[in-house]
Structure 1
Amino acid sequence: MQRMQFLPPLNNVKHGQMPKLDVYERAVVNSELAELDARWAADAGSQTLQEKLIREMLALARGIDRRVRVNLEAFGSRLYGLSTSASDFDLAMSIRVPQRNAEVGFMRFVRHFVVRLQRTRGFQRVVWLQHARVPIVKFVYRTSHGEHECDVSFNHGLGMAKSRMIHAYMRSDPRVRQVLMVLKEWAITRAISNQNAMNSFGVMLMGLTYLAQERVVPPLQLLTTNAMNTRGWKNLAALQQSREQISALYLSEQSEPIRCVQSGEQLPDWRVEGKNAYFLAKSVGWQSPNKQTVPELLFGLFQFYGCEFEPENHAVSLRLGSARIARANLHELKVQMPEMVLGRPQ
């Protein structure tokens, strides 16, 4: 695929405006986006292979101990549909063992599962990263079609919640997928999306936060309804400026209930691994007041993060729907400065 021709060089974004495209130029851009869209969608063969892999792994896991409840599903880009046919298979296994000595039983179960993988034809180079924050097993799944890199994490509820949240945002407006796929392609091409700088999830959050800031998507983590009017946007703007309310959103135990910025209705207290993981899952039906095209949104995104965003003074918050959250309002949350989080690229 040729490089997109009609977004000007980034060094011209600061003082420029999105150039007006004629009919031919719009057709070329739309063709390029369609080609990229097709590449960032796993084909039917890849989907079938994923289903086969999940069936085989579930059979292995459920044969260990019938008292243990096991589920396995895709997460990350494979869940929200922004992966290529060649992308790794990222899977999440939930394991519920009997209450007595649950932690010991969990580790014993994972150990038996790893041994079964190592002894089963087709599963090669099995490595258990048991000291990671979330236990992970990495392996290669070998089929007649070749070798496929795979990761399976265990009881990674927060990771699943994050993936489902991104999926909900992507379903809210058809432009979201195209903006995020271009951003992801750019980050990979520029070697930004790697272990030394920022992972793919961080890039997705920055893109989604900009889209929320521009009202392309609603603040799903602060809503019980997908209808937003002037009152809702006004309440959201007030929340973004309030140190007390921002801190209250992230407390482990809220003294006051968190309420929908539109209706005032109390938000469900949905906790995953001790974190507030609520978001409005039913985002279909949202009507965005922003009518910009995908190229215009991309231009604005690069212009904002490349020329306007001040990481020393502002923080990116998808929950609050803004990348202009004053760091002064985050003092009680002990938010790290960016240079403490991002390593120097190699």
Structure 2
Amino acid sequence: MRINSTQKSSSSSMLPALAKGLGPAGVKRFPYINLVTSTIRNKREGLTSNGRDFELIATVTQVILDKGTANDIEPKTIGEGSRGRVHSHSMPLQLVVRALRRRGKGWRRISVDRVRSVLDNCGQLAPGIISVVRPEPKPDEPEIDSDPAHGLIVQQTIDACSTVERLQREAKSKAHVQFLPTLDHVATATLSNLSHSELLELNTGVADMVRFWQPSAFNVSEVNDLVTRIEALARVVNQGRFVTARLFGSRNYGLCSNQSDVDITVSVSSPRGSGAQETDASNRNFFRDLAAILRKSTGFTRVINVSHARVPIIKFVFVTPGKYRLEGDISLNGSKGLAKSRLIATYLGLDPRVRQVLSVLKLWAIRRDITNHNTLNSFGLMMMAIAFLISRKVIPPLQMLATAHVTPQAWARLAKIHHSPHRIAMLYPAINSASAPTTPENASAQLGGSAVRCLQSGADLPEWIVEGTRAYYLNGGELNRWCSPNHDSSATLLFDMFRYYGFEFNPRLHAISPRLGSTTIPRASLFHLPPLDSETTIADPNKWRNNVRLLAIEDPFDLAVNCGRNAPPEWVEGLLWEMRRAAWTLLPSEHPQNRHHAKQHSPLDHLLLPPTEKIYCDPGIWASAYHRALQPPLPGSMAPVFDPAVDCVPDRTVDLEGMENAQLVSPLAPRIRAPNPVLQPGQMRHTF
């Protein structure tokens, strides 16, 4: 059949671009919304065109069968493999066209060339079923003239009508738009259907993840040696000034592996009496000199000074004596990063389930190629998890307490804050003031000592100002008194978190705040975050992607910073579908033949299965996952409307379980208990 030219060129041109997202460093994990909509439009146009072509062929075969001449033809005429003479029908092409024109129904003006072209295409799909041939002239007859329609005979086998119907069904099945399953049944599912042994195995696997994602003692030692070495080189650059180098990020709080990035902050004391401009110039010179001395040092294979970034950093690659290839960043005076790392470390120490849930979450994001620095980094993902765990009372909101003894009345007070925009605004009056931006000099005066009070005791919370932001949180020996009222297992919490974000969380309405311990804060209540900009129309995909901030995750210290600000709307919708899939993988099998048997593969192996390349080859299948981004558009928009009730029916849904089961049995499928490899320079790495 005829292939729609627009569809063919579009799919071939977009495949290389989409394939780039397969790598762990890929910026675009999910296809752009304009690619999704254009693919759907092209497929529908191609399906309509192919339907008209098949209708024409079916009519032609019926005309020939009714009015054509029955005859026997040689086997070679209908293709190789035929034996004996085959009964068939034939009819001059001009007579076929005349008969079509008499039938009406859109055939009144059909041309000979149109019929000839469609029949030739059908002959390529099924050689010998129907064909157009020029009969050989007899010796006593004159040469056939140049008219292409003169003397042409349409031949078909006796079963041409049934064959055309079969080809039409196959082409319709292939040309229909296929979508990812919506997995709606998971929204109300629980892990209660798992047997005791299955649930115990799942919890054991989650607990093993903590031990699996631990760097070796030798790797930790080499990283510490690297930090000491960078500190010594920094002191050489800044002689006479106090210099220290410290780890922050995943290497600081321990959710890392041998291949994890090494984030280092170098603290340099400013000369006495120096002004702000003089300090900035001194810092730029320091970074330039430090990068120069690192390039000359043994083991550093690449050093790049990124001075144009919002926070200047030095990116480096270092090969340790033990042949570990470490990639990392060096920032200057990053005390805020240290404070955030200590906050996460404190949450991890409160309850062992926190470390288990976050370990699986981070490994899942790596294996599924979700987190990266250009959309949502692992810090933002952890803030989503911590806010959820606080909302389930697994851990307390450390930024709202002065004691670890939290009564139900204190949780009730926190719930009242969540539902009161005025109370949220009054927690930090400086954010709501129209004065100059907060600076280290005026931050304490603007915040006010009575702005935030402990939920339990009502006492004023201390004011810890780090780089001009309020960075207080409860820590110390007081936390030994914490006892969680939530007794769910780590596997249950993991499943509930994936299910909540996949089905219940609405990014258009809700913002995530680890500071307040809630995932359902109304976006308008966090007035300091950039708005959603819901007035933007989908008609302009570039404007839609650049202006809409669909995902709102409040930074625990920088309240005006949205950790999800760089995530485009289709990426957010893809992330939420991945959350739905993650919850689905932890449930028993859906296939009838596997429903009463043990699962063939570990749920965690299924959860951590890398995305198959088949999903990237066709952007159109993501339409069901982009249900919010493809809502009925504003008046004047050209984006197609996606209705899951109409467009996403079972016979057009990707067999996700069958596809992933085939991927799991592949010898190349990774297993979670594989040892940490030592990557050599030039190899791909998974950032943790």
Which structure's CA Rg is the greater one? 2
* Superposition deviation, residue 10 in structure 1: 5.8
Tell me the distance in 2 between the aligned counterparts of 1:227 and 1:122. 50
Superposed CA RMSD: 2.0
Q: Is 1:65 aligned to 2:238, yes or no?
A: yes
Kindly report which structure 2 residues correspond to 1:17-166, keeping only aligned pairs within 5 A, or say none: 17-99=190-272, 100=274, 101-146=278-323, 147-166=325-344
Comparing 306-315 and 149-158, the one that deviates more = 149-158
Match of 1:5 in 2: none
User: Normalising by structure 2, what TM-score?
Assistant: 0.47
Q: Please state which structure has a larger fraction of its residues in strand.
A: 1
C-alpha contact 1:67 1:98 (8 A) present in aligned 2: no
Match of 2:388 in 1: 210
Tell me the distance in 1 between the aligned counterparts of 2:451 and 2:516. 16
Match of 2:475 in 1: 281
Q: Is 1:261 aligned to 2:455, yes or no?
A: yes
Within the candidate set 424, 445, 449, 1:246 is matched to 424
Match of 1:311 in 2: 507
Tell me the distance in 2 between the aligned counterparts of 1:226 and 1:209. 17
Comparing 186-195 and 320-329, the one that deviates more = 186-195
Tell me the distance in 1 between the aligned counterparts of 2:302 and 2:374. 25
Tell me the distance in 1 between the aligned counterparts of 2:469 and 2:427. 10
Q: Is 1:270 aligned to 2:464, yes or no?
A: yes
Tell me the distance in 1 between the aligned counterparts of 2:529 and 2:390. 24
For structure 2, the residue ranges without an aligned partner over 5 or more in a row are 1-181, 432-437, 439-445, 533-548, 551-564, 572-615, 617-688
C-alpha contact 1:88 1:149 (8 A) present in aligned 2: yes
User: Normalising by structure 1, what TM-score?
Assistant: 0.91
Tell me the distance in 2 between the aligned counterparts of 1:196 and 1:102. 30
C-alpha contact 1:93 1:153 (8 A) present in aligned 2: yes
Q: Is 1:292 aligned to 2:488, yes or no?
A: yes
Kindly report which structure 2 residues correspond to 1:198-237, keeping only aligned pairs within 5 A, or say none: 198-237=376-415
For structure 1, the residue ranges without an aligned partner over 5 or more in a row are 1-8
Mark the CA change 1:20 to 1:36 in structure 2 (over 3 Å): closer, same or farther: same
CA deviation profile, 1:21-56 (whole Å, cap 9, x unmatched) = 434223422342243222211110111011110111
C-alpha contact 1:215 1:289 (8 A) present in aligned 2: yes
CA deviation profile, 1:254-309 (whole Å, cap 9, x unmatched) = 35421111111111111122211111123343100000001111111112111111
C-alpha contact 2:357 2:490 (8 A) present in aligned 1: yes
Identical columns (%): 39
Indicate the SS of the match to 1:320.
coil
Mark the CA change 1:199 to 1:163 in structure 2 (over 3 Å): closer, same or farther: same
Mark the CA change 1:179 to 1:243 in structure 2 (over 3 Å): closer, same or farther: same
Tell me the distance in 1 between the aligned counterparts of 2:342 and 2:520. 25
C-alpha contact 2:206 2:357 (8 A) present in aligned 1: no
Within the candidate set 526, 530, 536, 1:330 is matched to 526
Indicate the SS of the match to 2:447.
coil
C-alpha contact 1:134 1:156 (8 A) present in aligned 2: no
* Superposition deviation, residue 191 in structure 1: 2.0
Mark the CA change 1:155 to 1:218 in structure 2 (over 3 Å): closer, same or farther: same
Match of 2:353 in 1: 175
* Superposition deviation, residue 312 in structure 1: 0.8
Mark the CA change 1:33 to 1:156 in structure 2 (over 3 Å): closer, same or farther: same
Displaced runs of 4 or more, over 4 A: none
CA deviation profile, 1:174-213 (whole Å, cap 9, x unmatched) = 1000111111122222222124431111110000100000
Mark the CA change 1:104 to 1:311 in structure 2 (over 3 Å): closer, same or farther: same
Match of 2:83 in 1: none
C-alpha contact 1:67 1:97 (8 A) present in aligned 2: no
